[in-house]
Amino acid sequence: MMDKPNYFQSYNKVIGATGEQLAPGAVPPHPVLAPSIAPGVGVGGVTAGVGGVAGVSAADVANIMQNPGFANLVQQALRNQLENQVVAQQLAASQQFQLNGSTAAPLPLLLNPAQTLAPIAIAPEPTVLINGTSITLKKATESAHRQFQSGNYAEAEKTCNIVFQVDPENLPTLLLLSAINFQTKNLEKSMHYSLLAIKVNSQCAEAYSNLGNYYKEKGHLAEALENYKTAVKLKPEFIDAYINLAAALVAGGDLEQAVTAYFTALQINPDLYCVRSDLGNLLKAMGRLEEAKVCYLKAIETQPQFAVAWSNLGCVFNSQGEIWLAIHHFEKAVTLDPNFLDAYVNLGNVLKEARIFDRAVSAYLRALNLAGNHAVVHGNLACVYYEQGLIDLAIDTYKKAIELQPQFPDAYCNLANAYKEKGCIAEAEAMYLKALELCPTHADSQNNLANIKREQGKIDDATRLYLKALEIYPEFAAAHSNLASILQQQGKLQDAILHYKEAIRIAPTFADAYSNMGNTLKEMGDSSAAIACYNRAIQINPAFADAHSNLASIHKDAGNMAEAIQSYSTALKLKPDFPDAFCNLAHCLQIICDWTDYEKRIKKLVAIVEEQVGKKRLPSVHPHHSMLYPLSPATRIAIAAKHASLCFDKVHVQMLGKTPLIHADRFSVQNGQRLRIGYVSSDFGNHPTSHLMQSIPGMHNRENVEVFCYALSVNDGTNFRSKLMAESEHFVDLSAIPCNGKAAEKIAQDGIHILINMNGYTKGARNEIFALRPAPIQVMWLGYPSTSGATFMDYIITDAVTTPLQLACAFTEKLAYMPHTFFIGDHAQMLRHLTEKVVVKDKEATERDSCLIMNTANMDPILAKSEIKEQVLDTEVVSGPKKELLRTEVVLPVLEVPTEPIKQMIMTGQMTMNVMEDMNVQNGLGQSQMHHKAATGEEVPNSVLLTSRAQYQLPDDAIVFCNFNQLYKIDPPTLEMWVKILDNVPKSILWLLRFPYQGEEHIRKFCTERGIESSRIVFSNVAAKEEHVRRGQLADVCLDTPLCNGHTTGMDILWTGTPMVTMPLDSLASRVAASQLCALGVPELVAKSRQEYIKIATRLGNDADHLASMRAKVWMARTTSTLFNVKQYCHDMEDLLKQMWKRYEAGLPVDHITNNTETPFGLCPPT
């Protein structure tokens, strides 16, 4: 489960033609509002005022007004409007006509040429010569007006100048000249004619409004506002002046007064649907969405065909998260106006955010049909192609956007994202740098470039860029999230959480931040909070496959297999090509023995991993799980090596690039100085590893070695921890030093010569400490059954059976052989009450020695009873240097007493009873309730414990084959062998654990489908350590799992004297049981093939004498062989460690240490 950098698609793009941009690094934007046109009220039906306001701020509005695309839209609306409005309307002599101007800049006003000032005296109307024809001034003015309306500004000005020469105080002509020069950008002349008009008639409101337009265009807002206010004061019903005043107020940031101006215009004429829409735009920009919605709805009610209001209403719905309503309104807008460019762009944007990519592409392509050279639409279309995985097409489309608009930093940033997705890192980096060259404050590019630096291991550069992005834009959610991810890598988990929370504050729907924060909380051990984060991420984005996978992972770790399988399955439905989810789902199904499509699943998993290894990607199979699948040794090494490299990377991050503590200078053990050994483990507590080795620190020869134990976990308060703390010369709790660098420094300061890694890649490991090389020699031992794949680990302690030299190619470490077996168990100390046993049976009964058993730490009082008889068993043992077989006898004490009362005690759940005078026995099932520390193995029980097949619903007359491993170690070929054995041995049963319980139904189904009655498969619950081991005495034979042996479980079952049949394969994990059996002196229980495995087990099940002999042999060998002899093991281990050190002192390279030990014939791995 890896955190992904957040590559925001740099959605800072101009939307449609409005020019609005999103602040860098923000959440992907909503579509901006399309402008609308306010209808005029004078003759000609046109307005000189600004037709609409769009955007979110005064600056936005100013940009909008200057955008040519916006002007084009206004002109189109104007043309449509002019066609439908009445051209003739009588005004008072002082009233003036109004002419629509482009919203790129407001147009001035002019009087209707059909209206003139009343003459002072009756006289012949003056005439002028126009194109050789003499016409009256009235006709000339009308002609100029028509020329202006048609856009022929040069001819209109020429005509007006002729009139002006004859009548320089002709008010309509002066206003028309003002309008012509404003439209042709001759602003000073426009102002001149407006002033002349005011000089002619100081009460001419239109002239003041035109003068206001001039000042607004020049950026002199105060003067513009003054003139607009004068206009409305002179003419209170002057709608266009109110609209121009509103636009100026918006530009000046006085939005409330702008709203008032719009409302005033609408009070004069409530049916001005365009003005109503513009007011909605302004209210929306102010965040007053419900009021804006009312405006748009009123505009649509007034004019149902008004496409702009439909589009603007779609924007409000989109802002409110009503995606489907937004889509509906945008689609209505383009239906009403098939040439509505902004509506197509807005529709494309909202479809893209809804991940309806095909329809988004269609909308953008329609927009490009209207404006083929629209760079931003090309950029938006490229973003959709990117989301669809059409990376090459996205790259080409981004390039087109850049070709059309070379100064387009957003497009360069997005093009870089596409290059990175394609794996073209150099090109991506170049494009980010180009974007920053164009815009040094482009926060998205800072963030995305930081992601590349982070992946390159340049943590300092990445951190600097993230911080720069946040300096530019403190509200940059993605940069906060990415910086948090680096802090998490550095072990600064609380700081990481703070930045994740800041990212979520800024962007409450930032699903990635929730998911990544969940990962951090999981690492902190807060599973419930992590689950809440994953669930929130999924609530925000139900299609977020990574969040489903992360949620599945935490359920998997908690053993909630049903929930894990469901979440992984959901992730794969959402993202079929999701290797992590597939491989983890495969592991979940392995755990519960669900072998549906097993071969197909395993084949696909192997193909995925091999492809990932080939591409040097992090494999989706964890090193500890690789032993479960048919992977080559080279692939298993590659998986481990990739995880080892991650340790290097993490160390580099945490140490900020400092050099590891590599020992360049050799040092030697001086005379009289002891070899300093450091054991490092997270399992110093109630854990199988401690159950195996807890006595080793105390049994080392203190004259030769100085023992350090470095705990990676907190004190769990158990006797296991206390024993290790008490018997180690130095016990250091590194869990109190979370910084790996400081932990490594502590070990180096202690002068450790040989540092022993007992975790490998198991839970709680801190291999980063070993990556820093705090000791000259670093060794793998006991806790992890495979290679580390790490260059910082020198040796792996093993033996000739577990790891023959033929398998050395499967390890990056050199092999260091123990003389017997590398495995050890503390059973003789921890469970010494099981060293002896008394078989209980009726006087006339002939039950086996595995049906009813008593154990206690002090057997002498029981053996002194007259009721004790002896059962003598013949067996063979290996003896002498030539390993000759000698016949010998094993004597088992048998207590002959009536067993019916005992069986009754078990059936009723009674905890204790007297089986004979002065001898009280305890029901073995009550151990956990009566003596907690004895139940966990922390103390040796003082009671006489009674263990019976009846306690576990096992028939007394059955041959009981058992396996107490976790069920994930069983695969179909193994269960096929067991089914065959059950078939071969009548009245035999298979005893397994609900480990986990979900596997029971699948195991039963598999067996019954092959003709084995369900009653012959018995499942028991997982028990505490003491009972777990003790009840193994009730089984006749243990059937080991070849895929991955019982390791600690193998030692447990052998300590009870139960024979175990195994078959070694080619992995270390599959050969441990063979090593244990050879060390015990019973290599005949090691099969060389599946057929031999079945044959060995079948004979034990059918041949009672052979079974009794083998059980006697195993029983006796427990105390006579080296398998459980911790003192001997310590001696042998010290010798091996000394050999490692001598090579180091001599300057010799690390090499195999085998002491010429050969693998026994027939136990070499299959070829």
SS3 of 697-746: the string is HHHCCCCCEEEEEEECCCCCCCHHHHHHHHHCCEEEEHHHCCCHHHHHHH
The two beta strands, 868-879 and 884-896, are antiparallel
Asked whether the predicted pLDDT for residue 83 surpasses 80, the reply is no
Predicted pLDDT of residue 667:
65
Distance CA 673, CA 1065 (A): 43
In this structure, which topology does domain 959-1125 adopt according to CATH? Rossmann fold (3.40.50)
Mean pLDDT over 297-315 rounds to 95
> Do 112 and 254 form a contact (C-beta atoms < 8 A)?
no
Helix (H) or strand (E) run with residue 928 in it: helix 927-930
Predicted pLDDT of residue 662:
59
DSSP of 563-578: HHHHHHHHHHHH-SS-
Cα dist from 632 to 584, 607, 1093, whole Å: 19, 12, 24
Asked whether the predicted pLDDT for residue 152 surpasses 70, the reply is yes
Distance CA 367, CA 343 (A): 9
Mean pLDDT over 806-814 rounds to 98
Q: Thinking of the domain 828-952, which architecture would CATH place it in?
A: 2-Layer Sandwich (3.30)
Predicted pLDDT of residue 656:
58
Neighbours of 947 (CB within 10 A): 28
Phi, psi torsion values for 356, nearest 5 degrees: -95, 75
Mean pLDDT over 759-764 rounds to 97
Query: Shortest CA distance to 695 belongs to which of 707, 712, 710, 711?
Result: 707
Distance CA 1137, CA 1155 (A): 13
Predicted pLDDT of residue 849:
81
> Do 67 and 104 form a contact (C-beta atoms < 8 A)?
yes
Predicted pLDDT of residue 878:
66
> Do 714 and 733 form a contact (C-beta atoms < 8 A)?
yes
Mean pLDDT over 1065-1084 rounds to 97
At 289, is the secondary structure helix, strand, or coil? helix
Query: Shortest CA distance to 739 belongs to which of 642, 833, 656?
Result: 656
CA atoms within 13 A on the CB side of 1050: 28
In this structure, which topology does domain 660-800+810-821+1135-1145 adopt according to CATH? Rossmann fold (3.40.50)
Predicted pLDDT of residue 190:
93
pLDDT tens digits, one per residue of 1003-1032 = 999 999 999 999 999 999 999 999 999 999
pLDDT tens digits, one per residue of 935-988 = 999 999 999 999 999 999 999 999 999 999 999 999 999 999 999 999 999 999
Instruction: State percent of the chain over pLDDT 90.
Output: 75
Predicted pLDDT of residue 787:
99
pLDDT tens digits, one per residue of 1046-1062 = 999 999 999 999 999 99
Distance CA 859, CA 515 (A): 58
Residues in the chain: 1167
DSSP of 16-64: TTS---PPTT-SPPPPPPPP--PPP-STTS--SS-----SSSHHHHHHH
When comparing pLDDT for 846 and 258, which is higher?
258
Distance CA 467, CA 470 (A): 5
Asked whether the predicted pLDDT for residue 64 surpasses 50, the reply is no
Mean pLDDT over 1030-1042 rounds to 98
pLDDT tens digits, one per residue of 504-551 = 999 999 999 999 999 999 999 999 999 999 999 999 999 999 999 999
Q: Do domains 828-952 and 959-1125 have the same CATH topology?
A: no
Place of tokens 């180690």: 728
Predicted pLDDT of residue 490:
84
Catalytic residues: 624
Distance CA 170, CA 154 (A): 19
Distance CA 262, CA 103 (A): 16
Asked whether the predicted pLDDT for residue 258 surpasses 60, the reply is yes
Predicted pLDDT of residue 809:
97
Instruction: State percent of the chain over pLDDT 70.
Output: 86
Mean pLDDT over 425-451 rounds to 97
Structural domain boundaries in the chain: 660-800+810-821+1135-1145, 828-952, 959-1125
Asked whether the predicted pLDDT for residue 1149 surpasses 90, the reply is yes
Asked whether the predicted pLDDT for residue 46 surpasses 70, the reply is no
DSSP of 447-474: HHHHHHHHHTT-HHHHHHHHHHHHHH-T
Contacts of 169 (CB under 8 A, 6+ apart): 200
The two beta strands, 868-879 and 1017-1020, are unpaired
- pTM attached to this predicted model: 0.76
When comparing pLDDT for 927 and 599, which is higher?
599
Mean pLDDT over 1112-1122 rounds to 96
Least confident of 315-319, 386-390, 843-847: 843-847
Contacts of 1021 (CB under 8 A, 6+ apart): 993, 994, 997
Least confident of 111-120, 278-287, 355-364, 1063-1072: 111-120
Query: Shortest CA distance to 417 belongs to which of 442, 454, 382?
Result: 382
Phi, psi torsion values for 1087, nearest 5 degrees: -90, 150
Paired tokens of 719 = 């006797």
> Do 794 and 1150 form a contact (C-beta atoms < 8 A)?
yes
Paired tokens of 781 = 């031992």
Paired tokens of 455 = 């992946």
Instruction: Give the angle subtended at the CA of 617 by the CAs of 616 and 623, to the nearest 5°.
Output: 100
Banded pLDDT at 154 (limits 50, 70, 90): very high
Asked whether the predicted pLDDT for residue 611 surpasses 60, the reply is yes
Asked whether the predicted pLDDT for residue 400 surpasses 80, the reply is yes
Cα dist from 584 to 590, 600, 969, whole Å: 10, 15, 16
Helix (H) or strand (E) run with residue 896 in it: strand 884-896
Banded pLDDT at 1136 (limits 50, 70, 90): very high
